[in-house]
Amino acid sequence: MNTMIKSIAAVAGIAACALVAQAEPPEAINLRKTVTVGVFEKTKDAVVNISATKRVRQRVSAFGGDPFFEQFGPGQIVERDAGSLGSGFIAHPDGYVITNHHVIDRARTVTIELADGRKLPAEVISSDAEADLAVLKIGETGPFPTLPLGDSSDLMIGEPVIAVGNPLGYSHSVSTGIVSALHRELPINQQISLKDVLQTDAAINPGNSGGPLLNAYGQVIGINTAIRGDAQNIGFAIQVNTLRDLIPELLSPKQTAKLDLPLQLTERRALAAPATVTPEVTLGGKAVKKVNGREVRDILDAYVQLLKLSDGDQVSIELIDGSTETVAARQLPLPEGLAVARDRLGLKLEMLTPALSQKYGIPVENGMLVMEVLARSPAARAGVQPGDVIVQIGRYIVRNESDFSGLMNALPQSGRIRFGVVRQNAVGSIFVTL
């Protein structure tokens, strides 16, 4: 009997050893490949570095910055090109990039560096200072890798997040943390505060601005925007739903292409746990299936299709219920001030921007750029030339289109008017007779 018991015990021992052996992880399982590693590998190709050149005013001393000699003179103010670095991510395969407004504000040139090292030019499509969001367009044909937009309506305090970006110029750096708090308000300056932003303890540093804050599924749930400089591990990100809700304004054909398109698309989203987002584009409350024959995935995709329109093009919106609505895109009439300049002076003008200054080699960044001078017009008789920049009318400075429009509306019916003009590197006066 004892022999039988010993035999049973021996068999049980062998079985237990076998179970222990089976419990050890097989070599095929890589314990080093965490969720963070998986998310980075899946998303890194769609995260970009952004560099922008800006014109800045700087005081320069003749004494080389020596503090002893600085007391003898303040030096002179000069303008120089300065660089800025930030991050962003590709949100649409056609090359549309999301970043912060402050990354590209007043930029003369913008360059996108992809994960494979390619550096491509980009243009600013739209920018919203109050939301600190901007949309750029890569200047080469796609398709490009993209990041999926998530939903930030059900974020949980304590859930893991991953930040990818370009902190201090270190490309594609990764940091991890959690959602530390929701619904924060972040003062930017005396006029602007960002509302309903996320707080995270993931390491965010200068250069991370505009980069994605990702959830554990690799979806964008925030756009990194700022840090608390006097603290550690307090960073902030704009909720991705803020971006999604602003797409109709950021990519409005009226603002970006000067096209009148009498329709307004919106997006409603259904969210299923843990992270399944089902967006639905709507027109007048009805679900949209196709825009010009192409099925649209979300509100961003729908507005990208609208931006492909030109004056006179028809856009067909096919709804889920089988009905179709068709409207025509029409060029918006010129603003009143520009129309007056064309009709009374013979000038076709455009407000000067830093990007146009860089493009045409113009030494100033404010004023109205002369694009065309109509033959036999008052401006042509006075000697105004394409490429001139109107910076003053009479005794009044022209900084932007609003200044210019006010002065155009005050033009006399006849008389001789002095225009302050920048031509190449010279500043002079031209007198136009009405």
Catalytic site positions = 102, 132, 209
Helix axes 240-250, 299-306, angle to 10 degrees: 20
- Residue 240 C-alpha from the chain's centroid: 13
Nearest to 292 by CA among 324, 262, 334, 265: 324
Residue at token pair 């076709």: 348
Instruction: Identify whether the C-beta of residue 27 lies closer than 8 Å to the C-beta of residue 89.
Output: no
In a 3-state reduction of DSSP, which class is residue 134?
strand
Please give, one letter per residue, the 3-state secondary structure of 325-359: EEEECEECCCCHHHHHHHHHHCEEEEECCHHHHHH
Bond before 143 cis per omega within 30 degrees = yes
Measured CA to CA, the distance from residue 428 to residue 333 in angstroms comes to 32
Measured CA to CA, the distance from residue 313 to residue 72 in angstroms comes to 65
* Those residues with Cβ within 8 angstroms of residue 237's Cβ, 6 or more apart along the chain or in another chain: 197, 198, 200, 204, 213, 221, 222, 223, 224, 225
Phi, psi of 352 (to 5 degrees): -70, 140
Alpha helices for 238-386 (secondary structure H)? 240-250, 253-256, 299-306, 336-340, 354-360, 378-382
Six-digit token pair at 314? 């028809």
Query: Read out DSSP for 23-46?
Result: HSPPTT--TT--HHHHHHHHHGGG
Instruction: Identify whether the C-beta of residue 119 lies closer than 8 Å to the C-beta of residue 113.
Output: yes
Query: Read out DSSP for 63-84?
Result: TTT-HHHHTT---EEEEEEEEE
Six-digit token pair at 424? 């190449």
